[in-house]
Structure 1
């Protein structure tokens, strides 16, 4: 039987990997490969409305996918963090360069509060600290996306991660929501 890795241990390990093992240039190349793999996914190609995240330094840079979506007339949604509710609100942006600014915790957020109905989102692209082979997601520990996922039960949930963020099996809590697939620079995992 595979060892189940605790959430706290896994967060510590991933933080260490990012800051000690991988350079910016290597992560940029891996991000580009992940973006190419996202473009190949049927769930992306068929989606007309996509909720993206705004990448932090230790997350996959999906900016090229956001720009591709704009060129292909997809409705682009960016999360606005609601700290007192520990959740996010999907807001429409029309111009990536003009419609975002630094918000909560220094994360880029939409400048307008044009909230989109979560139940009408086709695809949610979400980061994670780690994912396991069953598509269980480990976030930053506050449950923002887990809470939000409950408002978008029919949306396809795509996790994105670097290949070193995939582990065989991790600890799961009752409130954790798995994603439908995980796209990395080398593999695609599908929830069974």
Structure 2
């Protein structure tokens, strides 16, 4: 039996944050990304949302032996959903591919929750390393919810899979946030979310 694959569109694009085999660039049709509040952690999560006529870049990778337990635990705020052949990829074989998304019933009205900059950095680093600067631009353009405050935790990261960015990658994140007029709050001025 062939191993199933997942489609990652956020931190899972960054292969420094996991060790799943056979990562390949891919595109999921009929979806966009959005920042949403959930009951989990008290921070905002990046999710995929169905959006006919749209598509998002990402990464597929194999889940050996269909052992989803570790990935399901990592993506604990999300539901695992079959993509039903809506993913373009360069694998020579047809694949069973799942995507993780926050179920609509688990999305909450945003209150004090914030995007963790350390999390966003990991996402952007992954897109930069897989798709280059054009991929980073596409990530920002195909993601909604940039009016959400961002907690600048770079100096003392909260996100457990945080990574060190290159100078170029840091500048890319900062330039896009400036272009979007994003509200970045210094960590010492913000109420900290519970442990991630």
**When the two structures are superposed, what TM-score results if normalisation uses the length of structure 1?**
0.34
Which has more strand, going by share of residues?
Answer: 2
Which structure is richer in relative contact order (CA contacts within 8 A, separation 6 or more)? 2
